Structure 1
Amino acid sequence: MLLDATRNMLPEQAPVLQALRILDQAQAKIALVVNAQGKLSGCVVDGDVRRGLLHGHSLETPVSQIMHRQPYVLPAHSSRQKILHAMQVLEIKQVPLVTPEGLVTGIAVHDLLLGLQHGERPNHVVVMAGGKGKRLLPITQDLPKPMVQLGGKPILEWILLRLRHYGFREFSFAINYLGHVIEDYFGDGTAFGCRIRYVREKDFLGTAGALSLLPPGDTHPLVVTNGDILSGIDFGHLVDFHAAGGRSATVCARAHRVEVPYGVIEMHAGCLQGIVEKPVYDNLISAGIYVLSPQVLARIPKDQVLDMPDLLRSLINAHHAIGVFVLEEEWVDVGRHDDLERARRNFTDPG
Structure 2
Amino acid sequence: MAVQTDDPADRWKKTLVPANSTIVEVIRNLEQSGLQIALVVAEDGSLIGTMTDGDIRRGLLRNLDMNSSIEPLIYRSPLVAPPDLVRETVLQIMQANKKNQMPIVDENRRVVGLHVWGELMAPVRRPNLMIIMAGGRGERLKELTKDCPKPLLPVRGKAILEHIIERAKAEGFGRFILAVHYLGHMIEEHFGDGSRFDVQIDYLREESPLGTAGAISLFEARPDAAFVVSNGDVLTDIRYGELLDFHFRHAAAATMAVQRYEWQHPFGVVQTEGVEIVGFEEKPTVRTYVNAGVYVLDPGAFDVLVPGEHCDMPTLFSRMRARGQRTIVYPMHEPWLDVGRVEDLERARNPAQQR
TM-score class, shorter: 0.7 to 0.9
Q: Distance in 1 between matches of 2:122 and 2:113?
A: 18
1:4–1:244 CA contact under 8 A, matched in 2: no
Work out which of the residue numbers 215, 218, 221 in structure 2 matches 1:213: 218
> Deviation digits for residues 115-139 of structure 1, max 9, x if unmatched?
11xx542111100011111211121
Secondary structure of 2:174's aligned partner: strand
- Residue 339 of structure 1: aligned partner: 344
Instruction: State the shift of 1:172 in Å.
Output: 0.6
Task: Give the alignment of 1:77-156 within 5 angstroms.
Answer: 78-80=86-88, 82-95=89-102, 108-116=115-123, 120-156=125-161
Ranges in structure 2 where 5+ consecutive residues have no aligned partner: 1-7, 59-63
Instruction: State the shift of 1:264 in Å.
Output: 1.1
2:319 maps to amino acid: S
Q: 1:316 to 1:145 in 2, by over 3 A?
A: same
Q: Distance in 2 between matches of 1:256 and 1:175?
A: 29
1:76 aligns with 2:84: yes
Q: Distance in 1 between matches of 2:154 and 2:232?
A: 13
1:124–1:168 CA contact under 8 A, matched in 2: yes
Instruction: State the shift of 1:141 in Å.
Output: 2.0
> Deviation digits for residues 292-330 of structure 1, max 9, x if unmatched?
222333332211111111211222233323343222221
Q: 1:347 to 1:234 in 2, by over 3 A?
A: farther
Which structure's relative contact order is higher, taking Cα pairs within 8 Å and 6+ residues apart?
1
Q: 1:76 to 1:344 in 2, by over 3 A?
A: same
Secondary structure of 2:225's aligned partner: coil
Q: 1:68 to 1:245 in 2, by over 3 A?
A: farther
Q: Distance in 1 between matches of 2:293 and 2:10?
A: 26
Instruction: State the shift of 1:98 in Å.
Output: 8.3
Instruction: State the shift of 1:96 in Å.
Output: 6.0
Q: Which has the larger radius of gyration?
A: 2
> Deviation digits for residues 26-48 of structure 1, max 9, x if unmatched?
898676989x9xxxx8664336x
Q: 1:303 to 1:325 in 2, by over 3 A?
A: same
Work out which of the residue numbers 162, 170, 175 in structure 1 matches 2:167: 162
Secondary structure of 1:199's aligned partner: strand
- Residue 178 of structure 1: aligned partner: 183
**Mean alpha-carbon deviation: is it higher for 251-260 or for 90-99?**
90-99
Ranges in structure 1 where 5+ consecutive residues have no aligned partner: none
Secondary structure of 2:211's aligned partner: coil
1:259–1:281 CA contact under 8 A, matched in 2: yes
Instruction: State the shift of 1:331 in Å.
Output: 1.0
Instruction: State the shift of 1:93 in Å.
Output: 3.4
Q: Distance in 2 between matches of 1:170 and 1:236?
A: 13
TM, length-normalised to structure 2 = 0.76
1:146–1:156 CA contact under 8 A, matched in 2: yes
Provide the aligned C-alpha RMSD in A. 4.1
Secondary structure of 1:209's aligned partner: helix
2:51–2:75 CA contact under 8 A, matched in 1: no
Q: 1:347 to 1:202 in 2, by over 3 A?
A: farther
Number of equivalenced pairs: 330
1:304 aligns with 2:312: no
Q: Distance in 2 between matches of 1:332 and 1:100?
A: 37
Work out which of the residue numbers 302, 313, 321 in structure 1 matches 2:318: 313
TM, length-normalised to structure 1 = 0.77
**Mean alpha-carbon deviation: is it higher for 138-147 or for 124-133?**
138-147
Q: 1:175 to 1:264 in 2, by over 3 A?
A: same
Q: 1:106 to 1:230 in 2, by over 3 A?
A: farther
Instruction: State the shift of 1:266 in Å.
Output: 0.9
**Mean alpha-carbon deviation: is it higher for 224-233 or for 321-330?**
321-330
Q: Distance in 2 between matches of 1:247 and 1:24?
A: 39
Q: Distance in 2 between matches of 1:257 and 1:105?
A: 38
> Deviation digits for residues 19-74 of structure 1, max 9, x if unmatched?
x9x9999898676989x9xxxx8664336x999xx9xxx99x9xxxx995785436
